[in-house]
């Protein structure tokens, strides 16, 4: 039995019978309310208003309670700086201060008791607030790795292109010198938002973002170069005619996932083509119909996207990451 | 240009890239072997984290009245509760029963003395709720009817048939099978959530799968 542990913990080679049962039965399983996740987009906008209200509340003379305290920072490598102050060992990052690393230094921020944020070399991060109503930092350049647990949307990373709010999980966020961002989600969900444009990025997926445009369309890390170039043109290049048909033609197990997220941004005829192409690769969960997707029935579209909630296609994994298998 | 160490979303391993993520993707842009079987979606269990969710602390904070901590517990245990309910009640009822279980948990959390026992305690609440449901003799007919012309209706009917077969198995096997095959929890996760020992879960799962295969007429 030890040689065939797939039935126990999915280790080892896949057991075809069990895998078949999983495929058949998983649509009957628990599905978290996606509307709750979508509400995070509104939550982010609401947090701004809440922050204003909190400022008024703080100004009340009778208010008592802990002030907006800082977070502990540990040096991981080299000599990071908090403002102009070089950091050795440990320090405290206060709201309104910058934490900066050069090419040979790195630091870890302990987010109260909710997790940690690792600042990689060559990064600049500004602490906006540690208030429990909405912990918020701003990454202007470099890379952070975030592993924070707690209420959905309770930790926000602002970038020049979009704001990332976690729905409990772990992710990496990178910003280059142009302000272009890349989000890679390792577990859980992360919501990206800017100027009313939102993207919900699940575990195993990535999403690019551009200043002035906001987040693009999530995709799997193994998507092909051709597909990514077309997707970028669709997401960010307003001068080009949207290459939707070409995107659909390039659909494969590695990129079908992102097509599902395009349905509410394309014409009805293209929605039908997307449905046909994706469902040829992955049969839809029960209750999801072509007519409903073409008509953009909200709950049906959300359910279809939930089908790819935590995605790991065996074929895609094998063909896209041969070096690590 | 991402001239940084890039952590892949899949494995968490680090790769040094000298170009953008496009180059990173190009390395893996190989022809897909369409002849491979097993092309499917799979619910991936939560990956191991360096920082595991602080379940005991969430329970303590919930007992102190913090709703956001209880919300975190709800998200963490929802699949387990849903699976237990599904092994006893129709799918159409499981969603409502799920809400009932967590409402009851919130109302009675103060009586829980050992915070580490929250998972097994919650599992017991779920089983009790399912028993209560049957006592009230609600309709057993699923309301998940589909348009017969819908191409996905056949698959759903087959899934419901297999679930019904699982429900005919002894209770200890039934729950473990639903948690493994329907909710996507692994054996270790089932043990962690329900408080059963790894050995008990292993036996339940192994024997349950054997019985299910017999009922399905599958020769192994």
Chain B nearest CA to A32, separation (Å):
8
Contact A237, A214 (CB under 8 A): no
B89 burial type by CB count under 10 A (0-12 exposed, 13-18 middle, 19+ buried): buried
Which of 142-201 (B) contact A at CB < 8 A? 144, 146-147, 150, 152-153, 155-156, 158-160, 162-163, 180-184, 186-188
Tell me whether residues A29 and B5 touch, CB distance under 8 A: no
Residues of B in contact with A229 (CB under 8 A): 22
Tell me whether residues A322 and B28 touch, CB distance under 8 A: yes
Interface test with B, best of A231, A286, A289, A315 (most B CBs within 10 A): A286
Which residue bears the tokens 């995709």?
A219
Tell me whether residues A113 and B147 touch, CB distance under 8 A: no
Which residue bears the tokens 């080299």?
A78
The DSSP secondary structure of A59-87, one letter per residue, reads H-TT--S-----EEEEEEES--EETTEE-
User: What stretch of H or E contains B214?
Assistant: helix B198-216
The pLDDT, as a whole number, for residue A149 is 67
The C-alpha angle A23, A29, A30, rounded to 5 degrees, equals 145
Chain B nearest CA to A222, separation (Å):
6
The pLDDT, as a whole number, for residue B145 is 46
Q: Give the CA dihedral B4, A232, A158, A125, nearest 10 degrees.
A: 20
Question: Which residues, in sequence order, are CB contacts of B216 under 8 Å at separation 6+?
Answer: B162, B165
Given B9, B42, B187, which is nearest A205 (Cβ)?
B9
Beta bridge partners of A135: A155
The pLDDT, as a whole number, for residue A315 is 38
Interface check B141 vs A, CB under 8 A: no
Residues of A in contact with B32 (CB under 8 A): 252-254, 315-316, 319
Rounded mean pLDDT, B96-123: 90
The pLDDT, as a whole number, for residue A158 is 92
**A267-273 own/partner pairs: CB under 8 Å, 24+ apart:** A268/A294, A268/A295, A270/A244, A270/A245, A271/A296, A273/A245, A273/A248
Which of 38-97 (B) contact A at CB < 8 A? 38-47, 49-51, 53-54, 57, 68, 71-72, 75, 78-79, 82-83, 86, 91
Residues of B in contact with A321 (CB under 8 A): 8, 10-11, 28
The pLDDT, as a whole number, for residue A151 is 53
Distance CA A72, CA A90 (A): 7
Pairing, β A135-148 against β A155-158: parallel
Helices (DSSP H) in chain A: which residue ranges? 6-9, 16-25, 34-59, 225-236, 244-249, 256-260, 268-281, 290-294, 298-306, 314-320
Q: What number of C-beta contacts closer than 8 Å exist between A and B?
A: 235
The pLDDT, as a whole number, for residue A168 is 58
Distance CA B177, CA A9 (A): 13
Among all residues of chain B, which has the CA nearest to that of A4?
B206
Which residue bears the tokens 């200043």?
A211
Among all residues of chain A, which has the CA nearest to that of B76?
A168
**Secondary structure class of B160 (helix, strand, coil):** helix
The pLDDT, as a whole number, for residue A80 is 97
The pLDDT, as a whole number, for residue B38 is 29
Given A170, A203, A252, which is nearest B32 (Cβ)?
A252
Rounded mean pLDDT, B159-174: 89
Compute CA distances A32 → A92, A258, A303, B106, B182, whole Å: 37, 20, 10, 19, 14
Q: For chain A, what is the total number of helices (H) and then of strands (E)? A: 10, 18
Residues of A in contact with B212 (CB under 8 A): 21
Distance CA A159, CA A315 (A): 34
Q: What is the ipTM of this complex?
A: 0.71
Radius of gyration of chain A (CA): 22
Beta bridge partners of A138: A126, A158
The pLDDT, as a whole number, for residue A322 is 29
Given A120, A149, A221, which is nearest B10 (Cβ)?
A221
Residues of B in contact with A313 (CB under 8 A): 39-42
Tens digits of residue pLDDT in B46-89: 333 334 567 888 899 999 988 888 988 998 899 999 999 999 88
Contact A168, B73 (CB under 8 A): no
Question: Which residues, in sequence order, are CB contacts of B25 under 8 Å at separation 6+?
Answer: A221, A222, A223, A224, A225, A228
pLDDT greater at residue A301 or residue B142: A301
Chain A nearest CA to B137, separation (Å):
22
The model carries a pTM of: 0.52
Question: Which residues, in sequence order, are CB contacts of A137 under 8 Å at separation 6+?
Answer: A117, A125, A126, A127, A128, A144, A156, A157, A158
Chain B nearest CA to A129, separation (Å):
19
Q: Hey, what are A171's tokens?
A: 């992710």
The pLDDT, as a whole number, for residue A194 is 86
The pLDDT, as a whole number, for residue A160 is 93
Distance CA A72, CA A134 (A): 18
Tell me whether residues B8 and A184 touch, CB distance under 8 A: yes
Chain B nearest CA to A171, separation (Å):
8
Beta bridge partners of A123: A101
Q: What is the DSSP letter of B140?
A: -
Residues of B in contact with A317 (CB under 8 A): 10
Which residue positions in chain A have pLDDT lower than 50?
A: 1-3, 34-67, 310-325
The pLDDT, as a whole number, for residue A31 is 78
Which of 116-135 (B) contact A at CB < 8 A? none
Residues of A in contact with B38 (CB under 8 A): 14, 16, 19, 314-315
Interface test with A, best of B42, B178, B214 (most A CBs within 10 A): B42
Distance CA B102, CA B124 (A): 12
Chain B nearest CA to A66, separation (Å):
17
């Amino acid at each position: 039995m030890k040689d065939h542990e797939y039935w126990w913990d999915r280790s080892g080679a896949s057991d075809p019978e069990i895998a078949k049962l999983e495929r058949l039965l998983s649509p009957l399983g628990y599905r978290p309310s996606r509307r709750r996740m979508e509400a995070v987009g509104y939550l982010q906008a609401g947090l701004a208003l809440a922050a204003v209200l909190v400022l008024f509340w703080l100004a009340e003379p009778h208010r008592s309670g802990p002030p907006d305290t800082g977070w502990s920072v540990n040096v991981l490598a080299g000599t990071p700086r908090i403002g102009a102050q070089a950091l050795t060992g440990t320090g405290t990052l206060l709201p309104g201060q910058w934490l900066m690393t050069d090419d040979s230094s790195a630091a870890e921020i302990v987010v109260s008791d909710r997790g940690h944020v690792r600042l990689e070399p060559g990064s600049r991060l500004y602490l906006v607030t540690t208030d429990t109503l909405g912990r918020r930092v701003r990454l202007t350049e470099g890379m952070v790795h975030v592993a924070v647990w707690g209420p959905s949307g309770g930790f926000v990373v602002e970038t020049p292109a979009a704001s990332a709010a976690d729905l409990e999980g772990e992710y990496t966020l990178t910003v280059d010198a142009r302000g272009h961002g890349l989000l890679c989600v390792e577990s859980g969900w992360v919501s990206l938002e800017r100027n009313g444009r939102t993207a919900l990025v699940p575990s195993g997926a990535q999403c690019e973002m551009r200043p002035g445009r906001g987040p693009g369309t999530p995709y799997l890390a193994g998507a092909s170069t051709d597909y990514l170039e077309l997707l970028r043109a669709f997401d960010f290049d307003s001068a080009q005619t949207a290459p939707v048909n070409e995107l659909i033609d390039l659909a494969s197990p590695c990129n079908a996932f992102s097509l599902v997220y395009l349905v509410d941004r394309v014409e009805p005829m293209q929605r039908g083509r997307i449905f046909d192409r994706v469902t040829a690769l992955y049969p839809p969960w029960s209750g999801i119909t072509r007519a409903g997707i073409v008509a953009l029935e909200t709950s049906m579209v959300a359910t279809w996207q939930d089908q790819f909630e935590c995605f790991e296609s065996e074929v895609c994994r094998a063909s896209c990451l041969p070096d690590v298998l | 240009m991402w001239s940084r160490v890039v952590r892949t979303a899949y494995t968490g391993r680090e790769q040094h890239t000298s170009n953008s993520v496009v180059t990173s993707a190009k390395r893996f842009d190989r022809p897909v072997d369409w002849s491979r079987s097993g092309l499917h979606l799979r619910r991936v269990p939560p990956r191991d984290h360096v920082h595991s969710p602080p379940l005991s602390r969430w329970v303590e904070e919930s007992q102190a009245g913090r709703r956001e901590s209880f919300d975190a517990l709800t998200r963490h245990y929802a699949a387990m509760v849903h699976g237990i309910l599904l092994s006893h009640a129709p799918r159409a009822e499981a969603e409502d029963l799920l809400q009932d279980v967590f409402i009851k948990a919130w109302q009675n959390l103060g009586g829980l003395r050992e915070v580490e026992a929250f998972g097994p305690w919650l599992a017991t609440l779920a089983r009790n709720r399912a028993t209560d449901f049957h006592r009230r003799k609600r309709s057993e007919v699923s309301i998940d009817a589909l348009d017969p012309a819908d191409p996905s209706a056949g698959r759903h009917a087959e899934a419901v048939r297999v679930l019904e077969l699982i429900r005919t198995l002894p209770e200890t096997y039934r729950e473990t099978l639903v948690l493994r095959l329907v909710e996507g929890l692994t054996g270790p996760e089932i043990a962690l959530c329900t408080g059963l020992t790894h050995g008990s879960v292993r036996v339940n799962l192994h024997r349950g799968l054997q019985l299910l295969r017999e009922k399905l007429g599958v020769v192994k």
